[in-house]
């Protein structure tokens, strides 16, 4: 069985919707357009949530990889 690296799975999902939960419990939902080897992400058409409350919208957001708790692809 061939092993699959997490970063390659993320890279296959470029230009698709993603949900990103940060360590500070803020969630961003948007289109993932860039990802680097440190899992820094660039999202476009982003909505920011605190809990279930929509708090802001942004054209672009850069998320530093070490702030990510988890992400949901697709």
pLDDT at 22: 98
pLDDT at 5: 85
For the chain, give the percent of residues with pLDDT over 70.
Answer: 100
Query: Would you place residue 54 in the very low, low, confident or very high pLDDT band (cuts 50, 70, 90)?
Result: very high
Rounded Cα distance between 74 and 17, Å, is 5
Pseudo-torsion of CA 21, 70, 73, 35, nearest 10°? 90
> How would you class 49 by CB atoms within 10 Å of its CB: exposed for 0-12, middle for 13-18, buried for 19 or more?
middle
- Higher per-residue pLDDT: 43 or 2: 43
Options 2.30.30.100, 3.40.50.261, 3.40.190.80, 3.40.50.10320; CATH for 6-73 is 2.30.30.100
Q: Are 32 and 16 in contact (CB under 8 A)?
A: yes
The answer to whether residue 51 scores a pLDDT higher than 80 is yes
């Amino acid at each position: 069985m061939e092993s699959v690296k997490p970063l390659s799975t993320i890279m296959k999902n470029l230009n698709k919707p993603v949900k990103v939960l940060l360590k500070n419990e803020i969630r961003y939902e948007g289109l993932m357009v860039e990802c680097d080897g440190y899992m820094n992400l660039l999202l476009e058409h982003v909505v920011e949530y605190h809990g279930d409350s929509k708090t802001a919208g942004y054209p672009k957001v850069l998320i530093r990889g070490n702030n990510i708790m988890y992400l949901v692809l697709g």
